[in-house]
Structure 1
Amino acid sequence: MTVASDIPETESWFHKNQQKIAPWLFLAPGILFFAVYVIIPIFQSFNLSLYEWDGLGKAEYVGFSNYEQLYWEYVDRDAFFISLKNNVIWLFMYLLAIPAGLFIALFLNQTVRGIRIYKSLFFFPFVISQVVVGLVFSWFYNPSFGLLNTMLDWVNLGPVNVLGDENLVTYGIIIAGLWPQTAYCMILYLTGLNAVDPEQIEAGRLDGAKGVRMLWHIILPQLRPATFIAFVVTIIGALRSFDLVSIMTEGGPFGSSRVLAYYMFEVALSEYGFRMGYGAAIAVVLFMIMMCFIAYFLWSMYREEKGH
């Protein structure tokens, strides 16, 4: 006679695949929030860019009319052209934060007296808000009482109105943005330097590598993950720059310091009549530019990893 307890119990599908399912259960809340607050709004922006809508009334489908207007603004060197040109300047100048952050991190990675004080000083810009950075540099550039013009007076160069000069204003704002961005890159590289293999450094020293050769052939290859993150974050920061422009100049003088993010705010929510569809078209263009740069760096890293 067969006893019920002798019959082997069939394991459920969940118990069989428990190890495969567990990671996805932990990731599910993050994926859900990412989808709701990032992925879905991206598609909504694409959809909204095909409409003419003031945010209150009925949306009117206009197809690619908003993108055509952006094109003609670019051809006529109007506000969109100025904003795009400024974003390109932001992009290339902002990349200076990466080597600057690397060299500061190399300095702070040394065991010297008072290194904690230096680390605190260099870390400070990262923890303050962009609004504070904008206000500090607005005072610094002030032609009446700013520290910049005080120092220029010492060498008889006279006052310079950085934020009031159409040719200088964009560069002045970018310098203000480089201050906290360099601190962020420094933190990334400090973290990466803690993971550098000391055995490889010792092997390099035995082979006679030191200084620039040690940095180029041994340290930098091990800092590739930190460099990749620094590039991506810096590019995104340059292309979505808004806070400093808004605080320091509000796009002036005469719209010469506009960037795409600020122009999008102007046309969608400010003086240009609440053109939500047109603002969404600008956002889509900005998103596509970001994706091109990020895809390029991802592909470059993939090829390097595959080559090794």
Structure 2
Amino acid sequence: MTVSPVVPTTKYTPPPRGWYKRNEIAITPWLFLAPGVFFFVVYVIAPIWQSFGLSLYDWNGLGDVTVNGEYVGLENYNKLFGLNGERADRNFNISLWNNFKWLVLYLLAIPGGLFIALFLNQTVRGIRVYKSLFFFPFVISQVVVGLVFSWFYLPNDGLFSIMTGWFGIDIRGGVLGNPTWATYGIIAAGLWPQTAYCMILYLTGLNAVDPEQVEAARLDGAKGWKMLWFVIIPQLKPATFIAFVVTIIGALRSFDLVSIMTGGGPFGSTRVLSYYVFEKSLSERGLQYGYAAAVAVILFLIMLVFISYFLWSMYQDEKGAR
């Protein structure tokens, strides 16, 4: 009988891993994000930074800003707000106040979209036709909306003038020709497609409402407004969040309807900050790119306040859900 030799056993040692393999889980998501981050920095962050720099110059847009422009520091901001003995820019104040009107009244699109969505969420005959009619304003161009409402507001032949005439109401110069009412007429035109957009968001949110919670609330005697306020609306929080963000940003950057319907008139009463930037830079009365950049910076900072708040709220919600 022969005894086989004992083979010494050695513990297997895996080859050393490289730096990427050791950090693969942490690095891989950033590799997927890298193209988006690159384009975001080039096409969003860089222009914002350039606008900040340009707002410190007096430049007419011809040639290089550092060669043909004059560095004036914060002088453009002093002219806007009337600091250091400068006279405040009346057109800027009007534009800022009109943006505030847009911001407040545009929020009516959110409850309007909610109630239309609640109506369209029913199972009644012909509901698809109603959905198509309410969805229609969202898919047409803002230019078309502006033209349609311009005809609607015509002083003598417009449908709005005819309808107000039935009640003995006469708006001098028509809605768009009256400095008092022109801004409100444009906001009403903007609310039409914006309400349709909020309606779409809420229709999507209503599909995700938990039917078991609704049934449990019915068994507890909840109905009508109590059902809506305590059961339905809390489950629509994600849709409401998106509706607020989109509506506020849309109100602050309103430009196309003002340009199409009034061109900032009558007498500059319907200007908003975005249209004032266009007037000071690209219009025939403009070529004040440094001053226009200062107005754009103010508009950006206003937007940044709301965007930061919404991002912080979203971060807190996600943090609380962990």
TM over 0.5: yes
Aligned partner of 1:139 in structure 2 is 151
Q: Distance in 2 between matches of 1:72 and 1:124?
A: 45
Q: Distance in 2 between matches of 1:49 and 1:60?
A: 11
Q: Distance in 2 between matches of 1:7 and 1:198?
A: 56
Higher Cα Rg: structure 1 or 2?
2
Q: Which amino acid aligns with 2:137?
A: P
Q: Distance in 1 between matches of 2:296 and 2:215?
A: 50
SS in 2 for 1:163: coil
SS in 2 for 1:162: coil
Mapping for residues 1-308 of structure 1, pairs under 5 Å: 8-57=14-63, 58-72=68-82, 76=88, 78-158=90-170, 161-300=174-313
- Contact kept, 8 Å, 2:79 with 2:88, in 1: the verdict is no
For structure 1, list consecutive stretches of 5 or more residues without a partner in the other structure: none
Moved more, 6-15 or 104-113: 6-15
Cα root mean square deviation, aligned: 2.3
Cα distance, 1:203 vs structure 2: 1.8
Q: So what's the TM-score if we normalise by structure 1?
A: 0.91
Aligned residues: 305
Q: Which amino acid aligns with 1:83?
A: S
Greater fraction of residues in helix: 1
- Contact kept, 8 Å, 2:51 with 2:296, in 1: the verdict is yes
- Contact kept, 8 Å, 2:171 with 2:178, in 1: the verdict is no
Q: Which amino acid aligns with 1:182?
A: T
Output one character per residue of 1:170-189: Cα deviation in whole Å (capped at 9) or x when no partner: 00000000001111111111
Question: Structure 1 75/206 Cα, relative in aligned 2: closer, same or farther at 3 Å?
Answer: farther
Cα distance, 1:305 vs structure 2: 6.5
- Contact kept, 8 Å, 2:79 with 2:87, in 1: the verdict is no
Cα distance, 1:7 vs structure 2: 6.9
For structure 2, list consecutive stretches of 5 or more residues without a partner in the other structure: 1-6
Q: Distance in 2 between matches of 1:83 and 1:250?
A: 13
Q: Distance in 2 between matches of 1:76 and 1:214?
A: 51
**Identity value in percent:** 69
